[in-house]
Structure 1
Amino acid sequence: MSDPKTRRELASATAVAAIRRRYLLMATSCAGIDVAFSLVFYALNGVWSSAPRSIGTGLLVFLGVNYFLSSRLFAPIERYLAGNARFEETQRRITQLPILTARNVAILAAVLIVFRLVTGNLNTDLPPVTLPDLVTLCIILPVFYFTYTYFVVSDYLGGLLGFIYRHHGRNLELFFGTYTSKLTVALVVISLAPLAAIVVDLFSYEGDRLRLEIVNDVVVALMGIAVSAFFIGRSLLRPIRIISLAMGKVAGGNLTVRAPVTSNDEIGALTGQFNKMVEGLREREQIRETFGRYVDESVASTILRRQGDGALAGETGDATILFTDIAGFTTIAEYLAPHELVTALNEYLETVLEPIRAHGGVVNTFIGDGLFASFNMPLSCDGHAVAAVRAAIDIQRAVGSRTFGDPGIAFATRIGISTGNVIGGSVGAGQRLTFTLLGDTVNLAARLEELNKEHGTRILVSQSTREACGDAFVYAALGNVAVRGRSDKVTVFSIDPHGQDRKS
């Protein structure tokens, strides 16, 4: 039994051989069309003496010579599929495969038709062909074979490119075809070529011979149109269906989609641009998610929405600032193992975050065992002072009713709140920026959090916050107190987190 690597190599070799066989089958399928056309001609004319030689010559040209030429065309692609060539060296041949194959078939068809017409005119058993009809056949049939082969191989190209995408992760980046020219050629060959043949017959023959020629042209045209339309539709519409399905997935929120490029025209180029667009969206979403881990997700979204360079210009506005801190955290940290401390602290911060977000606040940054949150900056928050106080009350109730981590640590939280004018914006140096709020209101909220130690309280608010909240809560005035960093005393109020607020 061979090892797994050998089995994979054999499976790959088998897949490559199957891909090559399918191409050669598509490239030489014109031989079947030629046989069908020949049988129609000989059946309608009732002359079979020249049939073996004519059909045999067609098989020799379309199967033998064309097989050889097609094998040479596919050789560089086969080397790439086998891992013996680079994609950059091969994709030009890949994208030109339909037109090169169709060109060879058209040349072979022209040579074959001239040979048949010359030998046919020398054969007295076959009806003579007029010069206009001869010229028309020498033009229309090679054009038809070219068109048929081009779209058959284009249809095959879609499968080949899908195989390359699935097994090698590469998409076509060179596009030589144009959708307009493909559609134009298809419509001309399907509609005008049969009509031209019939018009030439009308001016070239009379009587029974005219009826015979028209019947022959109509039958051959119907056969050719049916087969060609099938492959034309597949090769033109399949790439559109692929990108349409991919767009539907992206619209549904799936940003992992990457559509295979399955055509060598504008639709293929569009698919490539679609993949780049989705990649950009995916990167933007990853940035937003990653950014949201370090700053509040709503701040990250606002920054990305307002300015593409990831910065918010300085702005001033009225806001309420909230600071939290854990009482006695230094002592707690001394007897806990690092992993126990981090686990407990993360659970605590998650508990604190929830009320802030629920009331419309934004966490600007974490400061050791505490955090700094804002209401109404940078995101608007109606009644921001009331929202901040209610968030503080909910924090105290949530934190006081549980323990955190293992073995289970109780954290007592101190909160300071102040309302007033603040300055907000992105600050930093070089490529390292952070969104922050500055001003006296921010400093006062931080000092009020510290004052909880002296007064044995859990929530302290400034007079500006008290006035902004009105009678929404029950307050206890602590009088005018000195605050570090300020020359004037400030009026401070405490709020009982276990009391009832006066919700309307």
Structure 2
Amino acid sequence: MTCILRHLGMKSLRSKFFLLILVPVIIVLAFLETRNYRTARNLLIEQMDKTARNYIWAASESLSGNISAIRTLLRLEAISENITAKSDAERHRLFVTLTRRLGPAVTSVYMGYPDGRMIRGATTALPANYDPRLRPWYQGALQLSEGTMDGVTSPYIDAGSGHPTITFFRKVVHADQSFVGVLGVDIDVEVASKSLTAEHPAPPGGLKSLVKSDGTILIHVDPAMVGTNINSIDDPLHKHLSKDIRKLELASQQYMEKRQDTMWFGGFHRAEGTDLVLVFMVPADSILKPLNRLHIEMIGFGTALVVLLIVLLVLMLRKITFPLLMLTRSAVRISHNGSYQDPLDVNSRDEVGKLTRAFNSMMEGLRQRDFIRETFGRYVTKEVVEQLLETPDGLKLGGESREVTIMLSDLRGFTPLTEHLEPDQVVNLLNRYFGEMESIISVHQGTINEFLGDAILTFFGAPVHHADHAQKAVSCAVAMQLAMRDFNTRNEAIGLSPLSMGIGINTGNVIVGNIGSQNRAKYGVVGHTINLTSRVEGSAMGGQVLITESTFEKIRLNIETRGTRTINLKGVDQGVTIYDVKAVTKPTPLELPDEEPAADSLAKPIPVDVHVMENKEVGAEPMQGLLTSFSPTWACVILSGEIEIAREVRLDIPNPASEKPVGVYARIASLNQGPKGFAHWVRLSYLPPETEHLIQHLSRKPI
């Protein structure tokens, strides 16, 4: 049935319900109607068979009685003729009396003699040349076999009346068996046919006839058929009748055969003790007409029932499918565009009502889930949100040890920059920066653990495991550094100083999971790997990406570096080898521009105080030095002592217009010992707006 519905293109639940209910009902009704019709038809035919059998039997018995009466009359007359010698006048009176008493079908009682005389009871005149010895009845009597005394003629035209006639005759003999004459009774075929029909009327359209055992028709409603043989009628019913009538051992038989291209019911019964057979036939339609009328009425009733059922089905299916249709439309809207609507009305307490209530609850749950995903996703990554929402234990406290790659990025010189900006400018700047960096991190499937001021702590390989988490982290870092150029271009367009960013990356085992309390928790990582990453990030200058050896070993075939150096980090017993990333070759080739220390020499060195920064705090005692070279990105400072590479420093430049010096933030990039001291090349992190003009004024030379 499912294949049929699919083939018919039935897609809606309403049409499927309609067909699945209506079609079986129609099939059952049709089956019951057909079965009942066939049963009633068979019963009716069986009853008709019994009725017809009784009818033919009764008619044949009546016919047999009449024939027996005629034969008895003939026998009595013959005996009377043999016993009593009557005069011709007496015989004439007797024949007249008998003719009147035997009914309208008997036209004459008479007797023919060998000498050509004839005494008859009829008053009609005979032809002048009439000779009884030449008549069929006389000839038939003479041709009777020995021991047979009576018989009946085939139909012939009566010489007196001119009507088709059959004659029952008896041979009359003396006691010594000498021939006396032939006694006969004429039966008018037309009158006898009417009498036979009136005495035992056939159903409408029915036919009765009297035939001889050889098939010759003696009496028929159609006079033209009298005298013909039943075998001459070319239809299955008459052929069957003709064949069985000749079987003298068959007393009666019934059939259902075709006659004149329609079905007829027919049969025959032999008149006992005679050579005569009564044939009866009636159209089957006349028998089945009441049944057909009942059949039509039942079809009408069934049609009305189907129409009523259709109306009830439409009403019922509308009540059932309308809520389902509303559920479907709501589900489609939620599935396609996440569009939620007000809860659906619940108008019943049945299964559909329960389903609607459950759908409303589910829709509200989805609405809340999407709200959580949308809101919570602003604070943690999409992967974390999905894990929290879809994993049964997603919100349970606890974690697991897993190897991940940690990336920490931090803006250089952002803190002093904020001192020159309004709060809304600071927030706007950070939001734009975080927005651009977050997009890049998402593309590389990183998980932002948290924003730490202007820093971003990100890890790769959790909660979704990626075998190439180290490659993703380094590629992400290079892409972030390249994105800073466009970011600074937009900053300069709105009057802001350019910013630079340092990035440190480390790979190692951490504890990752839900960390916190039952009231407040976050998905994050803890472990020594994070601390080491922070130290590496602190060694990176603006525009640099530094990675540890553990990260390098995982991607060494897909990376280019500018070099390595070993640094001693606070809290780490041994020196740490770090690699300065220049480019990555997979999955997308990316390359950072080279930045060599370069600056214009000042005509007049400027004395500066150099403060070594400790955790972004100014150290206690500054070092005095001379600023000998300067550009917006690089500067060279001569100091009597050395400051280790990668340390953050602040250069305080005296400002004649103010007692407060101008502070320039930088990181030590390299140092060389010369005759005047240690030359420290520094990568500038933050340059206050007035710095260039101040240096130009102090050095008395344009930069």
TM-score range, shorter chain: 0.5 to 0.7
Aligned position for 1:435: 523
Equivalences for residues 300-379 of structure 1 within 5 A: 300-308=385-393, 310-311=395-396, 313-379=398-464
**Which residue of the partner structure matches residue 575 of structure 2?**
489
Other structure's SS at 1:314 match = strand
Q: Residue 400 of structure 1 corresponds to which residue in structure 2? A: 485
Q: State the 1:314 CA deviation.
A: 1.0
Aligned-partner Cα distance in 2 for 1:226–1:384: 65
The answer to whether the aligner puts 1:416 opposite 2:501 as a matched pair is no
* Paired amino acid for 2:335: A
Q: Distance in 2 between matches of 1:299 and 1:381?
A: 14
Alignment partners' CA distance in 1, 2:443 and 2:383: 12
Identity of counterpart residues, as a percentage? Answer: 29
- 2:411/2:502 contact within 8 Å kept: yes
Contact 2:373 2:385 in 1 (8 A): yes
Q: Which amino acid aligns with 2:473?
A: A
Name 2:584's counterpart in structure 1: 501
Please point out which of 543, 553, 565 is paired with 1:467.
Answer: 553
Once residues 336 and 231 of structure 1 are traced to their aligned partners in structure 2, the CA distance between those partners, rounded to angstroms, is 71
Distance apart, 1:355 and its partner CA: 2.5
- Alpha carbons of 1:255 and 1:313: their partners in 2 closer, same or farther (altered >3 Å)? farther
Paired letter, 1:447:
R
| Cα distance, 1:225 vs structure 2 | 4.3
Correspondence list, 1:57-206, <5 A: none
What 5-or-longer segments of structure 1 have no aligned partner? 1-178
> Per the alignment, in what secondary structure is the counterpart of residue 344 of structure 2?
coil
Question: SS of 2:405's equivalent?
Answer: strand
**Post-superposition offset of 1:467:** 1.8
* More helix as a share of residues: 1
**CA deviation digits over 1:312-368, x for unaligned, max 9?**
631112111100111011111101111111111111112222222222222111111
Report if the CA contact (8 A) 2:505-2:533 is conserved.
Answer: yes
Residue of structure 1 aligned with 2:330, choices 246, 269, 276: 246
Which residue is 2:375 aligned to?
290
The answer as to whether partners of 1:482 and 1:490 remain within 8 angstroms in 2 is yes
Q: Tell me the C-alpha RMSD between the 2 structures.
A: 3.6
C-alpha distance in structure 2 between counterparts of 1:478 and 1:487, whole Å: 19
Distance (Å, rounded) in 1 between the aligned partners of 2:561 and 2:306: 92
Equivalent residue letter for 2:351: E
Q: 534, 539, 554: which is aligned to 1:451? A: 539
Higher relative contact order (CA 8 A, sep 6+): 1
Provide closer, same or farther for how the CA distance between residues 433 and 477 of structure 1 changes in structure 2, counting only shifts above 3 A: same
Off by >4 Å, runs of 4+ in structure 1: 210-227
Relative to structure 2, which stretch is displaced further, 438-447 or 233-242? 233-242
Give the whole-Å Cα distance in 1 for the aligned partners of 2:545 and 2:313. 78
8 A contact 2:449–2:523 mirrored in 1: yes
Alignment partners' CA distance in 2, 1:385 and 1:336: 37
SS at match of 1:252: helix
Asked whether the equivalents of residues 361 and 381 of structure 1 are also in contact (C-alpha less than 8 Å), the reply is no
Please tell me the residue identity of whatever aligns with 1:460. Answer: L
Q: Which moved more, 1:337-346 or 1:277-286?
A: 277-286
What's the CA shift for 1:452?
2.2
Cα distance in 1 for residues equivalent to 2:371 and 2:327 = 23
2:406 is paired with a residue of what secondary structure? strand
* Cα distance between partner residues in 2 of 1:381 and 1:219: 69
- Superimposed CA distance per residue, residues 481-503 of structure 1 (whole angstroms, 9 cap, x where no aligned partner): 111222322112222xxx44344
Which amino acid is 2:539 matched to?
A: L
After TM superposition, the structure 1 stretch with the greater mean CA deviation from structure 2, 391-400 or 483-492, is: 483-492
Residues 44-101 of structure 1 show CA distances to partners (whole Å, capped at 9, x for unaligned) of xxxxxxxxxxxxxxxxxxxxxxxxxxxxxxxxxxxxxxxxxxxxxxxxxxxxxxxxxx
Structure 1 partner of 2:73: none
Are residues 1:274 and 2:359 paired? yes
Letter of the 1:473 partner, please give it.
Answer: I
Structure 2 letter corresponding to 1:275: N
CA distance in 2: counterparts of 1:317 and 1:438, whole angstroms: 11
**Residue 228 of structure 1 corresponds to which residue in structure 2?**
312
Take 1:484 and 1:341, find their aligned partners in 2: how far apart are those partners? Answer: 31
Conservation of the 8 A alpha-carbon contact between 1:418 and 1:464: yes
Distance 2:516 2:356 in 1: 40
Residue 398 of structure 2 aligns to a residue whose secondary structure is coil
In the aligned structure 1, how far is the partner of 2:392 from the partner of 2:312?
52
Cα distance in 1 for residues equivalent to 2:463 and 2:311: 64
Q: Deviation of residue 298 (structure 1)?
A: 1.8
Change (3 A) 1:408 1:297: farther
Return the alpha-carbon distance in structure 2 between the equivalents of residues 422 and 487 of structure 1: 20
TM-superposed deviation, 1:443: 0.8
Distance (whole Å) between structure 2 residues aligned to residue 423 and residue 461 of structure 1: 21
Structure number having the greater strand percentage = 2
Does the 8 A contact of 1:363 with 1:373 survive in 2?
Answer: yes
Counterpart Cα distance in 2 of 1:390 and 1:214: 84
Task: Report the Cα distance in structure 1 between the residues aligned to 2:386 and 2:479, rounded to whole angstroms.
Answer: 26
User: 1:413–1:235: structure 2 CA closer, same or farther, 3 Å change rule?
Assistant: same
Residue 385 of structure 1: how far off its partner (Å): 1.8
CA distance in 2 between partners of 1:267 and 1:287 (Å):
30
Measure, in 2, the Cα distance between the counterparts of 1:449 and 1:465.
14
Q: Which residue of 2 aligns with 1:5?
A: none
Where does the alignment leave 5 or more consecutive residues of structure 2 unmatched? 1-16, 41-289, 590-703
Residue in 2 that maps onto 1:50: none
CA contact (8 A) 2:397 2:516 kept: no
Q: Which has the larger radius of gyration?
A: 2
Greater shift, 480-489 or 302-311, is seen at 302-311
